[in-house]
Structures are given as structure tokens and as C-alpha cells.
Chains A and B, each alone.
Chain A
Amino acid sequence: MLKGHQSWVFRNKPVIVSTAAVVGPFEGRGPLAEDFDIIHGDSFIGQDSWEKAERTLLEEASTIAIERAGITKEQVQFHIGGDLLNQIMSSSYASRTLTIPYIGVFGACSTSMESLALASYLIDTGGAKHVLAATCSHNSSAEKQFRYPTEYGSQKPPTAQYTATGSGAAVVAGSGSGPVVVAATIGRVVDMGIKDPFNMGAAMAPAAVDTITAHFRDLQVGPDHYDMIVTGDLAKVGHDIASELFDKHNIPMHKTRFRDCGMMLYDYDKQMVQAGGSGCACSAVVTYGHLIRKLRKGELKRILVVATGSLHSPLAIQQGESIPGIAHAVAIEAVPESPVEGG
């Protein structure tokens, strides 16, 4: 149900009964490798194009999540998902394989939490018994569409971000064991006039701050309500700016652990990712692989995941437009008595 201006509080506590995270080789060399279900050794994933590889990642993550929930795909009423490619190609083509009634959404890198929020809403209101929320991205297909050919020798500035290769999927259900989704805040589009597509962190940081502030206002809670508040993919540059904006608005973020998925996925010392990770898969694999595991183990009690998205189109950027940012927040709580099984 609606709370405040733009938040939902889920009274029936939709349960994330299972999650899956599949990643590429580069992510597998990062610090979170142990939390992933499949680490591929080859970025082509045995396919003949980057686009097919990305789609395969999504199919794998979805299949694992459904299997792990102990159900068949026929028992899943809806598949909500999206990705970065034109016409949300990967999700739509993967859904052709999955044959689950499909709602395609686009929120750029914020798609992970956008789809999870919508899935939770459907479950909460009795609109479905099981919903699959899944998203994916691939470094090479994103480079190809948004930047330069993968083998082109261009120099990236230190503000650039590395699009993660991977896919994260979650099955949300009305009952079962697992962490529960308690609330969600849908963000508005915030554009502060940043025009540099190699500085997405700065473009998205105001949106993240806007959504987090709105979440606190709507739910009448403070940062200390959460063990951890984790943004999607602001990376180093965006995270610094967001922290500064919170200080400016007198929001005591120091009372919680304020982290960023784009800074958790890679090892800055060993991996060349400039400012950090990005892409739909970044927040998806960190949340569904790493954070959900921590919630299940009881290492975290209550977290707020704020997936951030840079909604720019390469065409609009060439026409001199700036980058609109967005962020969607989902609050997830651990249920202490739930037995620990799977991931």
C-alpha cells in the first residue's frame, strides 16, 4: 500500500524465496567470487555474439533461481525484467525461452530494484503467487552499444565505469522462507545537467540522494533504521558526491553503513575498472549473490538497496542532451527463524 508520496509498504511481507547470480570471468576474479552460483571462464559463454552471451546469462540465472525455489517455471505467473540493450533485447529474448508471462521494464542499471519492487507489489496485492525478477548486462555488449568497439584502443578517464558481465534473478513469493521485502520507494528522474557519459556516477548521485531522502521521509525512518544502505553503481566518484550531498542535507548517513555495489564487485588494486562497476548486473549480482546470503546468514538484519540508473541514450548525448538519473530503493529484512538453505 502507498505510504507517503512515492513509497510502498508491503504488509503481507513478500518473501525472496530464492536468488541466483551468474557472472563472467572478470567478476569471478573480484572479491565476491564465492557468492556467485556460476562463474563463466569465457565472456562469450559458448555463444557466437555478445548479445547472445548476455541473454544466456539471464536464462541461466532465471533457471537456477526457479529450480532453487523448488518450483517449475509453469508455477511462476510473471517474469519482470529488463536490461541495457536496445528494445531490452536480452530480457525479451530470454523470456522467449522461459515462456513465462512477461512484463518488460527499463530502468537502465536501476532495473534490478525496479523489477524487484514491482514483483513484490504484485505478490503483496495477491496479483501472483510467484514472480521472477531478473536482469542482466554484459560488458562487451554495453561497450558496443554505448561506447566503442571492445577491441578499440581508446583511453578511459578515471571517472569511467566498467559494465559488469552477469545476471541476477530472484523469485518472490507470498510465503516460504527467506528474506522479506518490506518496503520500496520508486524514484523520480533527476537531471543535474551532467553531459559526460564517462561520468555516470556524478549523473546518478543526485537521483540516489533524492530517492533515499524520499524513502526516509515517506517511511519516517532515519539511516540508523538500516544495517546497510547500498547504492547500485555510483562507484567511487558518485559515492563521494552522494556522501557529500547527504552531509549538506544534514542526513546522518554515518549512523549506518553506506556502501556501493559498484565499489564492492571489483578489486581496485588488481582490476582496471576506473571508478568502479556499473550495469544492470552490478547491483543485481551483488544483491542477489552477496547481500541476500548475508541476510540469510543473519550477518545483516535490514538493508536498503538503492539501484541507480543512468537513463541516457547515446543518441540524446550526441544531440547535446544531459544524462537523466534515477534510483529505486527496496528495503529487505532478514527473517531470523528461517532455516538456512541454498543461496
Chain B
Amino acid sequence: MVSKKTIKKLTPTQREYQRLALDRMPKRPVAANSLKAFLCGGLICVVGQGIQQMLIHWAGMTERQAADPTVAILIIASVVLTSLGVYDKLGQWAGAGSAVPVTGFANSMASTAIEHRSEGLVLGVGGNMFKLAGPVIVFGTVAAFIIAIIRFIFTQGG
């Protein structure tokens, strides 16, 4: 919202108004939101763990082999829930809890693909699919690159 730095740039009337507006703004229920996010995010992880255990026990996979199919199943489940119009409602309730796990990433891609289907397959779906997921990939890669360099320097030195 409004930081102290931006308030300084405003005229006195604007500044006075911003204070009033800030005061009248209903606060986000941070504690309740955090708890919901913990419960939902945790539940998604438990489900993921469950799927992995099932693959290990019944499909005879090793823990390493089971990791990829587990992620794939979670992604498919998220895409199905997005298509059924459930995931956005879950998102309003759970916040970060449904946004942070891999299912949230799948939701960001599926929802943009559905939304822009009306503009065609190439420019609509293809051009917009990464509209929300793109920044995650870009900055995820950049962060991974920096961490890799740091690791390289330290492991070379040691």
C-alpha cells in the first residue's frame, strides 16, 4: 500500500487524505490468512507425500523415481480443479497456501490458457500462457544462476 516514502512526495491535502484512507482501510486478517495458508499449503504437501508413498509402495518405484510422477499428478489435479472453477475459490480462501505449491503454478498457466482461448491457439493460448508464470520462471532461473555461482566460488575455494 502507501509507503512513507510516497507520502512525502504528495501535496499536503493528498497526504492528509492518504492518512484518512489508510485509517479507514479494512485490515487484511493476517493471522487468520496465515493459518489458512499453512493448513491448505500443508494439506497439499501431505497429499503430494501420500501420492509419492503410494507410488513407492504399489508401483515399485524408488523415492527418486516417484518424485516426477508425483509432481505430474499434482499438476493434473490442479488443472482439473482450475477447469472446474474450483481453484480460484480455493485461492481466495487459502491465499499463499494454494499459490505457493506446484499446484498454484499449474493454476497460473491453466487459468491464463483458458482465459485467452477466445483469442486463438497461437496468440491467445500460446502468447498468454506464461503471462503470470513467466516472471516466476525468469526470476527463478536468475536466482538459481546466482546461487550456482556462489556455490561454485565456495566449493572451488574450499
Question: A155's contact among B10, B33, B118, by CB below 8 Å, is which?
Answer: B33
Q: Does B82 contact A (CB under 8 A)?
A: yes
Question: B91's contact among A154, A157, A236, by CB below 8 Å, is which?
Answer: A154
B-side interface residues, number (CB < 8 Å): 41
Given contacts A193-B18, A199-B21, contact A152 B111 (CB under 8 A): yes
A152 B17 Cβ-Cβ under 8 A: no
A237 B24 Cβ-Cβ under 8 A: yes
In the bound assembly, the distance between CA atoms of A21 and B83 in angstroms comes to 31
* Extra 11 A-B pairs, beta carbons < 8 Å, given A153-B82, A155-B91, A206-B17: A149-B112, A149-B114, A149-B132, A151-B85, A151-B88, A153-B89, A153-B92, A193-B2, A237-B25, A237-B26, A244-B24
Chain B at the A interface: mostly helix, strand, loop or mixed? helix
The count of A-to-B residue pairs whose CB atoms sit within 8 angstroms is: 104
Interface string of B24-50 (1 = CB under 8 A from A): 111110000100000000000000000
B21 A192 Cβ-Cβ under 8 A: yes
Residues of A within 8 A of B (CB): 48-51, 144, 148-159, 192-196, 199, 202, 205-206, 236-237, 240-241, 244-245, 272, 275
Question: B132's contact among A148, A202, A272, by CB below 8 Å, is which?
Answer: A148
In the bound assembly, the distance between CA atoms of A213 and B82 in angstroms comes to 47
Q: Give the Cβ gap from B94 to chain A, nearest Cβ, in Å.
A: 8
Q: Does B74 contact A (CB under 8 A)?
A: no
Of B58-66, B102-110, B136-144, B148-156, which binds chain A?
A: B102-110
B25 A159 Cβ-Cβ under 8 A: yes
Interface residues of B in 56-79 (CB under 8 A from A): none
A152 B112 Cβ-Cβ under 8 A: yes
Given contacts A193-B17, A202-B25, A272-B92, contact A153 B104 (CB under 8 A): yes
In the bound assembly, the distance between CA atoms of A193 and B88 in angstroms comes to 30
